[in-house]
Amino acid sequence: RHKFWETQPVGQFKDLGDTSLPEGPIEPPTPLSEVKQEPYNLPNPYEWITCDIDSDEMCNEVYNLLTYNYVEDDENMFRFNYSKEFLRWALRPPGYYRSWHIGVRAKSSKKLVAFITGIPARIRAHDNVVTMAEINFLCVHKRLRSKRLAPVMIKEVTRRVHLENIWQAAYTAGVVLPTPISTCQYWHRSLNPKKLIDVGFSRLGARMTMSRTIKLYKLPESTVTPGFRKMEMHDIPAVTRLLRTYLNQFVVAPDFDENDVEHWLLPKENVVDSYLVESTDNHEITDFCSFYTLPSSILGNQNHSTLKAAYSYYNVATRTPLLQLMNDALIVAKRKDYDVFNALDVMQNGSFLKELKFGPGDGKLHYYLYNYRIRQELRPVELGLVLL
């Protein structure tokens, strides 16, 4: 059934439930001298390129490939529309490798037709912190689908990751592959219900009118938590401590240091927003919330071309109730003109979704590890990882 994935060091469906298999690497690393030195063969009309996303020209090409060919919902009404600034942020974290930003071009036209990326990350699984690659932005142009190009892209990124002496990876996908470590549900909180209904993102509920719906989702103009403010550079040590302690409770979570927190969580306009609560008496940082900006193109609507979506990222509540903290995040997102606030049911998100009027979406997100076995499938509440 999975001609390619059956050949890879990933958990196989036939092994599900076999508790005799050990947790950890599925196969041992090979000596670096045994890693293939040349790229995998592509069909003759195509060639590999390493994408220099610092270059505006290259960044534009990647942006355009993804804008027209990346992930859509199951009814092809919306397509992720990552911004160029977002792509630069997502692909250049501390210690990134340029060689892991891989494109495929048509030799004759020079057109970019496929893309895949890796970035390095330390991820903890149970007690073990493992340096992994996070794989994302796998995309094959619509005209080149179903020609088995994806397995070649995956093998090539694997080879380039191995060349850096890294042997594990983490990735997410909307499709079921062998085999998820966890399956999460997307939830959506309407901020601009009229637009969401107009573009077919959501529907008027039974026995609901438009004006009742608008009233249902109304939010206050300003946040309610005293000491709630935007995160700043000088907060990095305190936020890192707060986040590290919080993430310890999950079975799989990133191992963030201060450099990671600076990169991933310091606010970046229209890319990532982070807020915290600074205690009004002792100036302690007690709570934190964040979201990233990922618009979607609206396919074939007369009146609207993009949906502005915020995605819940990392949140930590030690003193403010998480419900109140996330309600403040919704208030901020509404003020910044987002149409919808999305969240997965990971970490403690399940504790506020229903009360804050999120509804379950029609999409699921499956989490995977490459060459690392987790003995038991995880519940979303055991997962402390959000990929972009």
Task: Give contact residues for ligand MYA (rule: CB under 6 A).
Answer: 2-5, 69-71, 133, 135-140, 145-151, 154, 157-158, 161, 167-169, 171, 173, 175, 177, 370-371
- State which H helix or E strand residue 300 sits in: none
Question: CA 307, 312, 316 angle in degrees (round to 5)?
Answer: 160
Beta carbon nearer to ligand JJ1, 92 or 375: 92
Beta carbon nearer to ligand MYA, 169 or 285: 169
Beta carbon nearer to ligand MYA, 139 or 343: 139
Q: How far is the CB of 31 from ligand MYA (least distance, A)?
A: 15
Q: What are the Cα distances from residue 146, in Å, to 1, 49, 141, 149? A: 15, 21, 10, 7
Beta carbon nearer to ligand MYA, 5 or 40: 5
By the criterion CB under 6 A, which residues form the site for ligand JJ1? 71, 73-75, 77, 136, 172-174, 186, 188, 190, 201-202, 359, 361-363, 365, 387
Beta carbon nearer to ligand MYA, 10 or 353: 10
Report the distance separating Cα 169 and Cα 282, nearest Å: 41
239 φ/ψ sector (left φ>0, alpha ψ -120 to 50, else beta):
alpha
Give which of 191, 180, 82 is closest to 385, Cα–Cα: 180
Q: How far is the CB of 181 from ligand MYA (least distance, A)?
A: 13
The DSSP secondary-structure symbol of 150 reads H
Report the distance separating Cα 251 and Cα 320, nearest Å: 24
Beta carbon nearer to ligand JJ1, 286 or 312: 312
Q: How far is the CB of 385 from ligand JJ1 (least distance, A)?
A: 12
Q: What are the Cα distances from residue 312, in Å, to 2, 209, 268, 347, 357? A: 33, 28, 15, 11, 15
Report the distance separating Cα 347 and Cα 184, nearest Å: 11
Using CB distances below 5 to 8 A depending on partner kind, what does residue 74 bind out of ligand MYA, ligand JJ1, none?
ligand JJ1
Using CB distances below 5 to 8 A depending on partner kind, what does residue 359 bind out of ligand MYA, ligand JJ1, none?
ligand JJ1
Establish whether 388 is a catalytic residue. Answer: yes
84-91 and 56-69 helices cross at what angle (nearest 10)? 100
Q: What are the Cα distances from residue 321, in Å, to 135, 164, 226, 289, 368? A: 34, 43, 13, 12, 31
Q: How far is the CB of 67 from ligand MYA (least distance, A)?
A: 12
Q: Which residue is catalytic, options 307, 353, 356, 388?
A: 388
Q: How far is the CB of 340 from ligand JJ1 (least distance, A)?
A: 7
Using CB distances below 5 to 8 A depending on partner kind, what does residue 73 bind out of ligand MYA, ligand JJ1, none?
ligand JJ1
Q: How far is the CB of 368 from ligand MYA (least distance, A)?
A: 7
Using CB distances below 5 to 8 A depending on partner kind, what does residue 169 bind out of ligand MYA, ligand JJ1, none?
ligand MYA
Q: How far is the CB of 316 from ligand JJ1 (least distance, A)?
A: 23
Report the distance separating Cα 101 and Cα 91, nearest Å: 8
Using CB distances below 5 to 8 A depending on partner kind, what does residue 117 bind out of ligand JJ1, ligand MYA, none?
none
Q: Which amino acid is at 160?
A: R
Give which of 149, 161, 62, 156 is closest to 112, Cα–Cα: 62
Using CB distances below 5 to 8 A depending on partner kind, what does residue 202 bind out of ligand MYA, ligand JJ1, none?
ligand JJ1
Q: What is the CA radius of gyration of the chain?
A: 21
Beta carbon nearer to ligand MYA, 41 or 245: 41
**What are the backbone angles phi and psi of residue 258, rounded to the nearest 5°?**
-65, -35
Using CB distances below 5 to 8 A depending on partner kind, what does residue 188 bind out of ligand JJ1, ligand MYA, none?
ligand JJ1
**What are the backbone angles phi and psi of residue 294, rounded to the nearest 5°?**
-135, 95
Report the distance separating Cα 49 and Cα 39, nearest Å: 10
Report the distance separating Cα 320 and Cα 286, nearest Å: 8
- Active-site residue list: 388
